[in-house]
Amino acid sequence: MAELETIIGLEVHAQMSTDTKMFCGCDNDAFGKAPNTTICPICMGHPGTLPVPNASAVTKAILTSLALKGTVNEENHFDRKHYFYPDLPMGFQISQYDFPLSSGGSVSYVISDDSGKKLRDGTCGITRLHMENDAGKLTHRGATTLCDYNRAGTPLMEIVTEPDLRSADEAVAFAQELRRILIAIGSSDADMFKGMMRFDASISLREKGTKKLNPRSEIKNLNSFKALEKALKYEEKRLRNEWKKSGGPLPNDITVGWQDDEEKTRMLRNKESADDYRYFPEPDIPPLKFTKKDIEELRKQLPPLPQERKAQYTDMGLDEAQAMQLIDQPDLQRIFDAVYEKTGDGKRTSGLVLTQLLGFLKTQEKSIEEGPNAAGMLELITKIDDGTISGNAAKDVMEKMIQTGKSATEIIAQEGMQQISDDGAIEALVRQAIDANPQAIESFRSGKEAALGAIVGWVMKESKGQANPETVQRILREKL
């Protein structure tokens, strides 16, 4: 039998990070809110209501298209895509069909080993990017199904790739790089735990050297990189076994579902075609038109993309793994960037954020969201820089900030941790130190500079770390 080649293409749905939904003014952040509380007659599809496209969503989708090197189409249409399911209150989804927001583009990705070392790179073509609204969420409990429509009407970008990926590993590396781009652009928070980025993966086989695309199996609704990887590996193996048995590819396109708990795919149906969806132009929304000038203005607003950011971080003295850690964790990146802006010192910032902050969060088993935010960290750093506390005491303050959720100012006041910089108070301590350490004084006077450290250490211990070590040094030298 000829050698077989695996062909993979993805459809990615990413929730856009806008304040309001795609076609109405409802709160777009429904996470953790009571069911059916962020809805209105528009996103519920009540008769007589009219959808109005969200300008911020359109802008973010254009920026994303440009970051993916796509061509933004100057004329855009919305279309109705029909299917009947209880999660879809309107009975159709407002999507884009033959005049999508953008066409073409590509994403370059890197495949690394577990230690972050680059193994090889690749590129995947982008077919199109279009905007649409999300459906609600169904929860099945035995024979009962609960409907929560908070998510209905949330703005989505659907990004469709060319069938350029050749393995599950390539698909995952591409998807991770795409996620980084969305985060860098600020068009999606792409939080996988909150289901903000979901994949449908199409996979087929063909004999190596042939060009024809065979019927594919489309795996629906993969909500994590792990699921994407496992589902593709499973389906690839299954299709290869089928090929061996039948001597050829699938007879027609099929749709399968990934069963996360059983780690296998299950046949859902023969794949629906565009005809099944009865697409037709959305009569309530006029076509959107962009001029070349509009598009070029937006291109100028593009922030640095992940590979560029990575280079900036390594220039600051971070290693590649640290740089990727920041790029992959936007909450952490925000804190790091704010601290760097204040200190202008990559090493110091990395010590404060990547070593201390992450270290304390880890020992206290807390997430970045549960720790101090950027403003909280800056307040702490101000207290170090203006001499209120020493760098050492700052570590204790940070640990307590994470424990209690209180601010640096509150903790310093409560625990009486202010650094003693007052000359009078320190002089008294230094006098005691001279009396208590005659041997060390003797060796310092006979020329052993290192002995001074022992005396300073005594003062620091006596003051419970609150004496300003520089003031101690200065006064000690004056006295001796």
Residue 164: half-sphere exposure toward Cβ, Cα within 13 Å: 17
Q: Which is nearer to Zn ion, 35 or 465 (CB)?
A: 35
| Contact flag: residue 152 with Zn ion (CB under 5 A) | no
- Which residue is at the shortest CB distance from Mn ion? 158
- When the beta carbons of 158 and 282 are compared against Mn ion, the nearer one is 158
Nearer to Zn ion, 42 or 380 (CB): 42
Nearest distance from residue 46's CB to Zn ion, in Å? 10
Nearest distance, CB of residue 407 and Mn ion, angstroms: 44
Residue 158 partner contact from Zn ion, Mn ion, none using kind-dependent CB cut-offs of 5 to 8 Å: Mn ion
- Kindly tell me which of 159 and 398 has the beta carbon lying closer to Mn ion: 159
As measured in angstroms, the least distance from the Cβ of 186 to Zn ion is: 23
Phi, psi of 226 (to 5 degrees): -60, -45
SS (H, E, C) 32-86: CCCCCCCCCCCCCCCCCCCCCCCHHHHHHHHHHHHHCCCEECCEECCEEEECCCC
Using CB under 5 A, pick the residue from 14, 16, 24, 408 that binds Zn ion: 24
| Residue closer to Mn ion (CB basis): 6 or 102 | 102
- Give the footprint of Zn ion on residues 32-71 (CB under 5 A): 40, 42-43
* 3-state class (DSSP) for residue 90: coil
# residues near Zn ion by CB under 5 A? 5
Binding site residues, Mn ion, CB under 5 A: 158
Question: Measured between alpha carbons, how far is 94 from 21 in angstroms, rounded to an integer?
Answer: 13
Sequence letter at residue 165: L
Alpha-carbon distance values, 413 to 383, 397, 405, 469 (Å): 12, 11, 15, 20
Rounded Cα distance between 473 and 477, Å, is: 6
24 binds, among Mn ion, Zn ion, none (CB under 5 to 8 A by kind): Zn ion
Q: Of the candidates 414, 391, 356, 381, which has an alpha carbon nearest to the alpha carbon of residue 465?
A: 391
Smallest gap, in angstroms, from Cβ of residue 153 to Zn ion?
A: 5
DSSP 247: S
| Minimum distance of Zn ion from residue 63's CB (angstroms) | 24
DSSP state of 389: S
If the CB atoms of residues 83 and 290 are measured against Mn ion, the closer one turns out to be 83
- Interacting residue ranges for Zn ion, rule: CB under 5 A: 24, 26, 40, 42-43
